[in-house]
Structure 1
């Protein structure tokens, strides 16, 4: 398996205090104006930081790929997470961190914004989880 792709499989069911759940989302968001700025090591830095955010906020990234102009994540989270809040956390924290650690990005993006304000989020069932993982892992091969 390609070492640049993160895959942290766990049991499909998670047990909380008084509840059992299996919630996964396929999340995709793009850079502002689809500028291809997530390359030359920036993509690897972004992956590492996304894993750190996941650990800090206690959710799991089960598959991830960073393309030059967009990000794919398969996330497993607790039922208490509001998906729109999770997106704000991911996009807001990564933009701030990327501009601090890669200040050259700000000059290559018009208006100084890293991410497009929109995103795509799709719920993933147990039946489609493997298909989504394969799709995310195959993204680099397609480009």
Structure 2
């Protein structure tokens, strides 16, 4: 649409089904490149992507040409299919239902990029569940604990 100007920065993250630590260092960079391509093919820009063996964080320069829910559904479905076709895991790979997504102003982008780059450092101190709940609280999002990722027993 003519005369439409936006600056939307979204950090999205999602977990492997049952939060199993299955994203292997041998193929995670290939996965990140694949996800980056999916997002860029829809007109958005990946500013940073990184994660841990059980989840992925992506900072997106988001264009308002697509609903975020549609983008996340496509990224999760297509990347799951790609992982399965590549045979990277024994059995069937899938992402857990849902995702987290938070918006940031331009002046916060460098801090969020650093946060995503330093995932290994952050998770040496706290779990993904603790990180997720902390982000929900920081962003003042009310949540029902019944629908938050449950610890693996």
TM-score range, shorter chain: 0.7 to 0.9
Report the Cα distance in structure 2 between the residues aligned to 1:49 and 1:71, rounded to whole angstroms. 13
Report the Cα distance in structure 1 between the residues aligned to 2:98 and 2:66, rounded to whole angstroms. 19
Regions of 4+ moved over 4 Å: none
| 2:23 paired with 1:38 | yes
Report the Cα distance in structure 2 between the residues aligned to 1:22 and 1:57, rounded to whole angstroms. 16
8 Å CA contact retained: 1:47, 1:66? no
1:134 match:
114
Q: 2:66 aligns with which of 81, 89, 103?
A: 81
Report the Cα distance in structure 1 between the residues aligned to 2:19 and 2:8, rounded to whole angstroms. 29
Q: TM-score, normalised by structure 2?
A: 0.74
Q: TM-score, normalised by structure 1?
A: 0.78
8 Å CA contact retained: 2:51, 2:116? no
> CA shift at 1:81, angstroms?
1.8
1:125 match:
105
| 2:96 paired with 1:116 | yes
Query: How many residues are matched?
Result: 123
| 2:57 paired with 1:72 | yes
